[in-house]
Amino acid sequence: MSRVRVLTLNAALGPLDYRVPYGMSAEPGSIVLVPLGPRQLAGVVWEPERMPSDAEVGDNRLRNLVGVYDLPPIADPLRRLIEWTADYYLAPPAAVLRMALASASALDDRRTAIEYRATGVVPDRLTPQRAQALERIGERQGLVRELATIADVSDGVIRGLVKIGAIEAVEVSVDDPYPLPDPEHAPPHLSEAQTAVANVLVNDVDARVFAPTLLDGVTGSGKTEVYFEAVAQALRQGGQTLVLLPEIALTEPFLRRFEGRFGHTPVAWHSGLRQSQRRRAWRAIASGEAKVTVGARSALFLPYRDLQLIVVDEAHETSFKQEDGVHYHARDVAVMRARFEGCPVVLASATPAIETRQQVTLGNYRELKLPGRYGVAQMPEIAAIDLTEDRPERGHWLAPTLVTAIEETLSRGEQALLFLNRRGYAPLTLCRHCGHRFQCPNCTAWMVEHRLLARLQCHHCGHVMAPPKKCPECGEEDSLVACGPGVERIADEVAELFPEARRAIVTSDTLWSPAKAAEFVGRMEAGDIDIVVGTQLVTKGYHFPNLTLVGVVDADLGLQGGDLRAAERSFQQIMQVAGRAGRGTKPGRVLVQTHDPSAPVIAALIAADVEGFYEAETESRRDAGAPPFGRLAAIIVSSEDQREATDVAQRIGKAAPKVEGMEVFGPAPAPLAMLRGRHRMRLLVHARRALDVQDVIRSWLGSQEWPRSVRVAVDVDPYSFV
Ligand code: ADP
Ligand code: ZN
């Protein structure tokens, strides 16, 4: 009799054993359907020795597999990656497997799906909701639920529109092949320095060996052009490439650029895909037909059939760290995946993370440098504006020097970018009369005013409220004042100063879809925008040759609340946004507003002393035993009941094992003491680099019990300290 162990998609369950009925064949990696109680569930057959089960049942109690999917099995390297990820990040293997089988519908082998789209027939009288739905849906199509989400209305509104003929059903094929990118479509003439670097990467792809490389070059040096040569080589070999980007918003410009070089767009994978697109992409990735996939971090666990190259672009970005569910870092897991697959991995960055630089120092990664900007473009000059001397007018945020610089830029017909990493109009609203501050009822956070949307919003849980006419505390009317600036407020100031200038606000509120991002790029390139005010969303990836001035509105912002990477992150962010200036033939200029021009980060930026900054920062990390020289893990205990969270956290704290080379801090209320209605207590584990903290934490927490209403989440190598 043949029995198999199956890892199901249910993260609450361990692996389960099943019988393979006569006539069916299942090997490790096979994707199968299994019975579980009255239901059926997908899973993957695993080697029993690698996936121990504590609920082994006798042969006589085994149930039969329901079936084996007609899909390529999850290959050995991906199974090893799933095990490694689960082990390293202390997550249930099933939770990691779910990221590999990321599209339940992909398993469904029907070749078509039914979607809906607008017919263009617009009835005379529409309810506001129906009108909103049609406007937002535009040219897009999808399931009723997907359209409802896009339109921010209920399913019923969409169904109503179907009934009156404004929306119709269409059958779409989910098996259409993807066009093949052509490596010889439009190759660039690389400079000598670029060629040298590209050759090394091409050789790696050709050799099909694990080779981690840091591709280090200033913004505009041609990193993308260079790693495209490695992609071309993988294409010539018929292999697959994965390019990871830190943000969905960057996908669109990347697709265009890729298309220019290779003649066709790659396959995109991100959370914004419709179900039918996910299904088509997943199946093409699994069959090997999708040659190049570009995606956000979740693309990392897909079942590529023949992966020959991984690129992590903007590899220093902290958004590669997943902050809920499995707390993995996509950059680090990408390197592990390349190792299991036996293929090269390129980490591209103008401002590499200290962790990555340390791997180079240790000799684990190779470093390839691109020395300067491509062509005639020069790196922009960075200067500080001391806000204690060069003061903005009362109630304003732009210093006279910056205003003058904007004026000059506009008079030359060039574009300016003002960067402030704060969405909305103002981060805090209070009552002038009684001092009441508007706080989120579910989180330890202020409600942020969004004037464009006419509402206050919590950036943590999404809670929204209409801006009240009077103070809910003292009842005073028209007493509410906005404190501090967000991008919308800066845009207002710009409008006041330069009423003629055409403005754009770029945040996740305004660029909420790839189409919006494409529209923005189009308007910038056509010169229809003079001044952009944006959050970190505009700091990366864009190439606007006529953009010559960058103003950093508040360089001190990133240094507040100082977690261990605050200085590094500030430095990277300002370098990135500075990198948007002067990318064409015209020189760029960067003005950084600060209250403390002598702060090490600012001083290093002005002196263009990248190496000096990194060295000082690395030394201080080494002294503190902070990552990458020591290890951290956070344990977050949360519950809707504050007492319960505190009690459990204290019990866990008391049970902390005494281990040489390891300290446990806390429990203490997390800085975000309440999040989405749950009270949060935090313990922080600090350990020597060589210590197997995961092992220690596993047995420590394994010996503890807590009620179901309490959640205990472990974050290994944490990036967020809230
Ligand atoms: P990075 O990724 O390092 O920021 P990019 O690859 O985006 O740099 O290059 C910056 C700009 O210079 C892009 O518009 C790119 O097309 C152009 N460029 C870089 N190298 C070349 C080249 N060898 N030939 C033509 N254009 C190039
Ligand atoms: Zn909230």
Q: Looking at the CA of 261, which ligand is closest?
A: 1
Residue 257 in contact with ligand 1 by CB distance below 6 A? no
Would the CB of 356 count as within 6 Å of ligand 1?
no
Nearest atom in ligand 1 to the alpha carbon of residue 225 is 6
- For residue 117, the CA-to-ligand 2 centroid distance in Å is 34
The DSSP annotation for 223-291 comes to: HHHHHHHHHHHHHHTT-EEEEE-S-GGGHHHHHHHHHHHHSS--EEESTT--HHHHHHHHHHHHHT---
pLDDT at 341: 97
Determine if ligand 1 sits within 6 Å of the CB of residue 313: no
Nearest Cα residue to atom 21 of ligand 1? 222
Query: Is a pLDDT exceeding 80 seen at residue 472?
Result: yes
Average pLDDT rounded to a whole number, residues 69-95: 96
Position 561 scores a pLDDT of 67
218, 225, 524, 540: residue to mutate for ligand 1 pocket, most atoms within 8 A of CB: 225
| Cα gap 361→615, rounded to integer Å | 12
Alpha carbon 153 to its chain centroid, in Å, reads: 26
Regarding predicted confidence, which is higher, 189 or 104?
A: 189
Which positions ≥6 away from 239 have C-beta within 8 Å? 205, 291, 306, 307, 308, 309
Residues 426 and 491: beta-carbon distance below 8 Å:
no
Sheet of 112-118, strand order:
141-142, 112-118, 167-173
Q: Which ligand is nearest to the CA of 458?
A: 2
Ligand 2 centroid to 425 CA: how many Å? 17
Distance 637 CA to ligand 2 centre (A): 18
Q: Which residues surround ligand 2, an ion (CB under 5 A)?
A: 440, 442-443, 458, 460-461, 463
Ligand 1 and 358: CB distance under 6 A: no
With a CB cutoff of 8 Å and minimum separation 6, the contacts of 418 are 398, 490, 494, 531, 532, 533, 534, 550, 551, 553
β 112-118/141-142 pair status: antiparallel
Q: How confident is the model at residue 53 (pLDDT cuts 50, 70, 90)?
A: confident
Please state the atom number of ligand 1 nearest to the C-alpha of residue 217. Answer: 3
**Crossing angle for the helix pair 155-163 and 128-137, to the nearest 10 degrees:** 90
576 in contact with ligand 1, CB cutoff 6 A: no
Top-confidence residue, 164 or 187 = 187
> Which atom of ligand 1 lies nearest, measured to the CA of 377?
12
Q: Is the Cβ atom of 339 under 6 angstroms away from ligand 1? A: no
Measured in Å, residue 457 CA sits from the centre of ligand 2 at: 8
- Across the range 226-247, mean pLDDT stands at 97
Which residue among 195, 223, 224 is best mutated to probe the pocket of ligand 1, counting the most ligand atoms within 8 A of its Cβ? 224
Q: Could you tell me whether strands 381-386 and 455-457 are parallel, antiparallel, or unpaired per DSSP bridges?
A: unpaired
CA 536 – CA 432 distance, rounded (Å)? 31
Q: Cα of 210 to ligand 1 centre, how many Å?
A: 27
pLDDT for position 251: 83
Q: Does the Cβ of 540 fall within 6 Å of ligand 1?
A: no
Cα angle value 180/184/187 (rounded, 5°): 125
Q: Which ligand is nearest to the CA of 460?
A: 2
- Atom of ligand 1 minimally distant from the CA of 313: 2
Per-residue b or e along 508-534, where b marks 16 or more CB atoms closer than 10 Å to that residue's CB: ebbbebbeebeebbeebeeeebbbbbb
Ligand 1 proximity of 376 Cβ (cutoff 6 Å): no
Give the ligand with the smallest distance to the CA of 440. 2
**What does the chain come to in residues?**
722
Q: Tens digit of pLDDT for each residue in 684-712?
A: 999 999 999 999 999 999 999 999 999 99
Q: Kindly state if the Cβ of 572 falls inside 6 Å of ligand 1.
A: no
Name which residue sits closest to atom 14 of ligand 1, judged by CA. 543
Of all protein residues, whose CA lies closest to atom 9 belonging to ligand 1? 222
User: What is the distance between the alpha carbons of residues 72 and 109, in angstroms, rounded to a whole number?
Assistant: 13
Ligand 2 centroid, distance to 322 Cα (angstroms): 19
Which atom of ligand 1 lies nearest, measured to the CA of 257?
16
Q: Which residue has the CA at smallest separation from atom 19 of ligand 1?
A: 222
Is the distance from the beta carbon of residue 225 to the nearest atom of ligand 1 less than 6 Å? yes
Q: Could you give the C-alpha distances from 34 to 40, 44, 104, in angstroms and in order?
A: 5, 10, 14
Distance 422 CA to ligand 2 centre (A): 16
Determine the pLDDT at residue 235.
98
pLDDT tens profile 189-219 = 999 999 999 999 999 999 999 999 999 998 8
Spatial contact of 294 and 267, defined as CB atoms under 8 Å apart: yes
pLDDT reported for residue 562: 66
543 lines ligand 1 (CB under 6 A): yes
Asked if residue 108 has pLDDT above 80, the reply is no
Q: Are 166 and 119 in contact (CB under 8 A)?
A: yes
Task: Please answer whether residues 552 and 577 qualify as being in contact, where contact means their C-beta atoms are separated by less than 8 angstroms.
Answer: yes
Which atom from ligand 1 is nearest to the alpha carbon of 543? 14
Alpha carbon dihedral 534, 537, 543, 544, in 10-degree steps, equals -20
Whether 223 lines ligand 1, by a CB cut-off of 6 Å, is yes
Instruction: Summarize pLDDT for 433-446 with one digit per residue, the tens.
Output: 999 999 999 999 99
Question: How far, in Å, from the CA of 242 to the mean position of ligand 1?
Answer: 20
User: Is the bond into 667 cis (omega within 30 degrees of 0)?
Assistant: yes
**What does the angle CA 177 – CA 181 – CA 185 come to, to the nearest 5 degrees?**
145
**Tokens standing for residue 491:** 């845009």
**Enclosing H/E stretch for 455:** strand 455-457
Q: Whose CA is nearest to atom 25 of ligand 1?
A: 188
Query: 588 in ligand 1 pocket by Cβ < 6 Å?
Result: no
What are the backbone angles phi and psi of residue 593, rounded to the nearest 5°? -85, 130
Residue 1 has pLDDT above 80, yes or no: no
- The confidence score (pLDDT) of residue 438 equals 93
- Token pair for residue 579? 């990198």
With 0-12 / 13-18 / 19 or more C-beta atoms within 10 angstroms meaning exposed / middle / buried, residue 419 is buried
Q: What is the distance in A from the centroid of ligand 1 to the CA of 374?
A: 6
Taking residues 242-256, what's their average pLDDT?
87
Pocket test for ligand 1, best of 369, 374, 521, 542 (most atoms within 8 A of CB): 374
pLDDT at 673 over 80: yes
Q: Which residues does 585 contact at the CB level (< 8 Å), separation at least 6?
A: 376, 377, 545
* Buried residues in 101-136 as b, exposed as e (16+ CB within 10 A): bbbeebbeeeeebebbbbeeeeeeebeebbeebbeb
Residue 134 in this model has a pLDDT that exceeds 70: yes
The Cα 218–Cα 449 span in angstroms is 36
Mean pLDDT score of the chain, rounded to an integer? 92
